[in-house]
């Protein structure tokens, strides 16, 4: 399965995909795109010999036009699955229609709790004792698509977002490659009676 990764930042999740699934288990990472031309994620891709491109808001006054250009580039590269790994932009409906049930995201919270841009801060402010990571399909909403994988971690004394993220990152780095591996194996489907429910064949 040809996989593209969209990333805006550091790209540690991209690195986990490059290290753990790229070139095996039927997975090839063939493209990495960003909305930030200086994203360290792009350097990680180049070091791995993966094609990169940037699609900047400044070059496309309207997001649908930018997403169209990005989708054209990805489809031209034979991409079958799009993985959002710290991609800080919403995708247009048209982009999602071009990759039906083929866009996934990793989020550092146990969805549906704490969607959005500051999930760990929001969870700490709420006072939760259990944190976690979700890998989910992307739909038209914000972190609202069907859940593929989740893992929780109890941190009853957590106070500081950075230390929570330090605990969550290694979980993300396991869960996201695992989800890609399962999708490549054709082991992920939807319960026909309730398409919110993702069924994993282990
Ligand atoms: C991760 O915490 C991911 O859950 C969120 O953005 C962050 C990206 O981190 N969506 P990195 O760039 O992969 O290090």
How far is ligand 1, taken at its centre, from the CA of residue 193, in Å? Answer: 32
CB atoms within 10 A of CB 200: 13
SS3 141: coil
Q: Are 70 and 89 in contact (CB under 8 A)?
A: no
- Rounded to whole angstroms, the Cα distance separating 63 from 78 reads 22
Q: Atom of ligand 1 at shortest distance to CA of 133?
A: 4
Q: Which residues contact 151 (CB under 8 A, 6 or more apart)?
A: 132, 133, 171, 174, 175
In 3D space, the residue among 90, 102, 99, 30 whose CA is nearest the CA of residue 66 turns out to be 90
- With 90 as the cut, is the pLDDT of residue 7 above it? yes
- With 90 as the cut, is the pLDDT of residue 47 above it? yes
- With 90 as the cut, is the pLDDT of residue 22 above it? yes
Instruction: Calculate what percentage of the chain has a pLDDT beyond 70.
Output: 100
Q: What is the pLDDT of residue 61?
A: 86
Task: Name the burial class of residue 49, with classes exposed (0-12), middle (13-18) and buried (19+) by CB atoms within 10 angstroms of its CB.
Answer: exposed
- pLDDT band at 134; cut points 50, 70, 90: very high
Kindly list the domain boundaries of the chain, sorted by start residue. Answer: 2-200
| pTM for the model | 0.98
Residue nearest to atom 1 of ligand 1 (CA): 86
How far is ligand 1, taken at its centre, from the CA of residue 66, in Å? Answer: 22
Residue nearest to atom 5 of ligand 1 (CA): 86
| In the block, residue with structure tokens 């989020």 | 107
Q: Which residues line ligand 1 (CB under 6 A)?
A: 7, 9-13, 85-86, 106-108, 172
Q: What is the pLDDT of residue 173?
A: 98
Q: Are 43 and 77 in contact (CB under 8 A)?
A: no
Q: Give per-residue pLDDT as tens, 147-164.
A: 999 999 999 999 999 999
- Of the chain, the end-to-end C-alpha distance in Å amounts to 18
- pLDDT band at 167; cut points 50, 70, 90: very high
CATH of 2-200, one of 3.30.565.10, 3.40.50.170, 3.40.50.1820, 3.30.1330.10: 3.40.50.170
107 is catalytic: yes
């Amino acid at each position: 399965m040809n996989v593209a990764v969209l990333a805006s930042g550091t790209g540690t999740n991209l690195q986990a995909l490059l290290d753990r699934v790229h070139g095996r288990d039927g997975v090839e990472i063939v493209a990495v795109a960003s909305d930030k031309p200086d994203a360290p994620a792009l350097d990680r891709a180049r070091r791995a010999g993966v094609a990169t491109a940037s699609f900047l808001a400044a070059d496309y006054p309207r997001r649908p036009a930018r997403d169209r250009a990005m989708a054209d580039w990805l489809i031209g590269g034979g991409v079958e699955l799009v993985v959002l790994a710290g991609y800080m932009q919403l995708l247009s409906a048209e982009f999602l229609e071009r990759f039906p049930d083929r866009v996934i995201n990793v989020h550092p919270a146990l969805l549906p709790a704490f969607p959005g841009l500051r999930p760990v801060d929001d969870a700490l402010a709420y006072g939760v004792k259990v944190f976690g990571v979700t890998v989910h399909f992307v739909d038209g909403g914000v972190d609202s698509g069907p859940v593929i994988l989740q893992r929780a971690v109890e941190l009853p004394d957590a106070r500081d977002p950075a230390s929570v993220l330090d605990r969550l990152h290694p979980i993300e780095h396991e869960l996201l490659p695992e989800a890609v591996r399962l999708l490549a194996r054709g082991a992920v489907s939807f319960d026909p009676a309730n398409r919110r429910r993702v069924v994993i064949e282990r």
